[in-house]
Structure 1
Amino acid sequence: MTWTMPAEWEPHERAWMAWPSADYTLGERADEAWGTWAAVANAIVAFEPVTMIVPAHLKDVADRFLDPAVDTVEGALDDGWYRDIGPTFVLGADGDAALGAVNWQFNGWGAQDWANWEHDQHASLIATGASGADAIDSPLVNEGGGIHTDGEGTFLVTRTVQLDPGRNPDLTEADVEAELARTLGARKVIWLPRGLTRDSDRFGTRGHVDIVAAFTRPGRVLLHDQQDPAHPDYEVTRQIRETLEAATDAQGRRLEVVSLPAPTVLRDDEGWVDYSYVNHYVANGGVVLCAFDDPNDAVARDILAAEYPGREIVQVDARPLFARGGGIHCITQQQPRA
């Protein structure tokens, strides 16, 4: 079977999410975490079906927060970042109607000492089984937030994730590209040097691409644009822009890079923020976009409305998500319509 990963703007069967349960995510304000995960699910379910995986002991809690239209299934989890612990769904190429689910190896974002993955290393099997997808097992340690595609075989990745010694210590770029080709139909992999500063610190992912850059159509990429020279991501995003502007996609096209200004706030109580509007979810007929109570919320909304014409833009306060290590894209996983 030949498989290909569709673009995120292609039609979806449903969205998958996982209810947060880890102490390091819930913190002292568990209701804030649960309320934010639910706000994202409740926004998406207005556009397409949503299935939330919920540990048995938290079922009553989830029912209290979730819109009744959100389906729930029981499953053992360590935490709620289903983009990373869930499968990456693919479709059979050449018109084949088959649905596949790539089950990556998950080891807590590179075996980080604060992470738990006893259950999360198997959590992709929940959606794989429930969706009826053909399981595609991969030896690659990878997360869904570490890849982004244009749906035509071009993929964005970062060296700090795919070649992380804590993930894939013995693999080369060529090894990673070959596995992405086998499982996802990759024909061109664009290697970005790194991710954002906060996401590269101790409690980050070591540089996921889905907070930095995202295709909105073939040949066109949104870039997180930190415009304040005081923030270290000013230099990071300059380097990434140079890489993207020098790259060509699987069709041989030069990429058009669209700046998506970062929020104006630079720091929180923990240091430099990595607040990013790039980390959004594209639904059937809508886009669920991060908000930060920031003047650039409206700027981002207008840019996304232009990039996704005909889709309704809904914004959800994502500050509680980013305080816990991620954004809206990080907690969602699309299942394409076969």
Structure 2
Amino acid sequence: MSWRMPAETDPHERLWMAWPSGGYTLGGTDQDAHEARAAWAAVARAARRFEPVTMVVRPEDRGIAQAYLDPRVGLLEAPLDDAWMRDMGPSFVLDESAGARADGTARLGAVDWIFNGWGAQDWASWEHDAQIAGTVTSAAGAAHVPSSLVNEGGGFQVDGLGTVLLTETVQLDPGRNPGTTKAEVEAELERTIGARHAVWLPRGLTRDSERFGTRGHVDLVAAIPSPGTLLVHVQYNPEHPDHEVSGHILETLRASRTADGTPWDIIEVPAPAQLHDGEDWVDWSYLNHVALNGGLVACSFNDPHDEKALRILADAYRGRHVTAVDARVLFSRGGGIHCVTQQQPTARPRA
């Protein structure tokens, strides 16, 4: 097989999500649970305007999920620990080589990374979530592409042309892949998603690097809206520790190249103006959005920078209708819109 992970902006067959079921995601009160369910439902509703959406849901939660969700959202029952489909779900790929399928279309595959709760963190549980990639793969009718790499979909970004963005603190994390080298990670990514050129970032955002974070997911700091173009999260306020962090990331990306050797066209996207949420420095990011067929579902934060950031996204994803969803409830639980979604590409006819 010759697998390639398409760009997120390529046509989709559908979008996959998982329903919040318990623990910190639902929170400790009925109001907390309502806020979480309403937030996940809002993302699904916005996405369903542009393409089919399937929600994985625990059998015992089907009724309550149906009460919140657009009735056009499909449901797939399976046991769950958590609700971050980007990380526990498969990364879909295509085999576009001659003879991949007799009907002339590309063959759909799904990379099943090992998921261990973002580096076997003591607050996480993943007994059921570690099986979701296989469940989704089967339901999608995709070829199973197993991997020995502990990895999550939020831990990398691709341009569909051979470039992958990574952070050293995720794929090289001793809690994920102890003793693994960059060369070994890159070889596995070339085998599974067709990445032939890796751009390694030194780390992720401050809060995401602390106890309840992912230890540095790239989908908070960079996104690829089109070949050769990078959206980069920049914290301009020197009071926030991410001012220095995002500066280092920006320097790294300016010095990097795409797989074909060209420099990136870098577009800076300002962090929200709010610095703190009462518990810690925020890691709110407008880059944690999801591109859809003709649309983009983006994060808003009831923040003075929302309007400017959404204009930047609309220009970068020209031709797509931008829908903003308040993502504060999602981020208070550890992620954003990109984190709760996973796209399944369309297996198009081979060129």
TM-score by length of 2: 0.95
User: 1:295 offset after TM fit, Å?
Assistant: 1.3
Q: Which residue of 1 aligns with 2:40?
A: 37
Q: 2-side partners of 1:176 and 1:318: how far apart?
A: 32
Q: Which residue of 2 aligns with 1:20?
A: 20
Q: Does 1:153 align with 2:162?
A: yes
Q: Which residue of 1 aligns with 2:297?
A: 288
1:223 to 225, 229, 232: 232
Q: Which residue of 2 aligns with 1:166?
A: 175
Q: Which runs of 4+ in 1 moved over 2 A?
A: 93-96
Q: Which residue of 1 aligns with 2:76?
A: 73
Q: Which residue of 2 aligns with 1:9?
A: 9
Q: Which residue of 2 aligns with 1:320?
A: 329
Q: Does 1:301 align with 2:310?
A: yes
Q: 2-side partners of 1:122 and 1:3: how far apart?
A: 22
User: 1:94 offset after TM fit, Å?
Assistant: 3.6
Q: Which residue of 1 aligns with 2:91?
A: 88
In structure 2, what residue type is equivalent to 1:261? P
1:100 to 106, 109, 112: 109
Q: 2-side partners of 1:323 and 1:295: how far apart?
A: 19
Q: 2-side partners of 1:130 and 1:211: how far apart?
A: 29
Deviations 1:251-291 (A, max 9, x none): 11111211010100000121100000000000101000000
Deviations 1:165-208 (A, max 9, x none): 00000200000000000000001000000000000010000000
Deviations 1:40-64 (A, max 9, x none): 0010000000000000111111001
User: 1:93 offset after TM fit, Å?
Assistant: 3.2
Q: Which residue of 1 aligns with 2:66?
A: 63
SS in structure 2 of the partner of residue 331 of structure 1: coil
SS in structure 2 of the partner of residue 123 of structure 1: helix
User: 1:139 offset after TM fit, Å?
Assistant: 0.4
Q: CA RMSD in A?
A: 0.7
In structure 2, what residue type is equivalent to 1:284? N
Q: Which residue of 1 aligns with 2:262?
A: 253
Q: 1-side partners of 2:299 and 2:158: how far apart?
A: 20
User: 1:108 offset after TM fit, Å?
Assistant: 0.4
Listed as ranges, the gaps of 5+ residues in structure 1 are: none
Q: 1-side partners of 2:22 and 2:97: how far apart?
A: 41
Q: 2-side partners of 1:47 and 1:16: how far apart?
A: 13
Q: 2-side partners of 1:22 and 1:202: how far apart?
A: 19
Q: Does 1:242 align with 2:245?
A: no
In structure 1, what residue type is equivalent to 2:20? P
Q: 2-side partners of 1:71 and 1:103: how far apart?
A: 22
User: 1:232 offset after TM fit, Å?
Assistant: 0.4
SS in structure 1 of the partner of residue 219 of structure 2: helix
Q: Which residue of 1 aligns with 2:283?
A: 274
Higher mean alpha-carbon deviation, 81-90 vs 249-258, is at: 249-258
Listed as ranges, the gaps of 5+ residues in structure 2 are: 101-105
Tell me the number of residue pairs that the alignment of Structure 1 and Structure 2 aligns. Answer: 338
In structure 1, what residue type is equivalent to 2:245? V
Q: 1-side partners of 2:18 and 2:182: how far apart?
A: 31
Q: 2-side partners of 1:8 and 1:193: how far apart?
A: 23
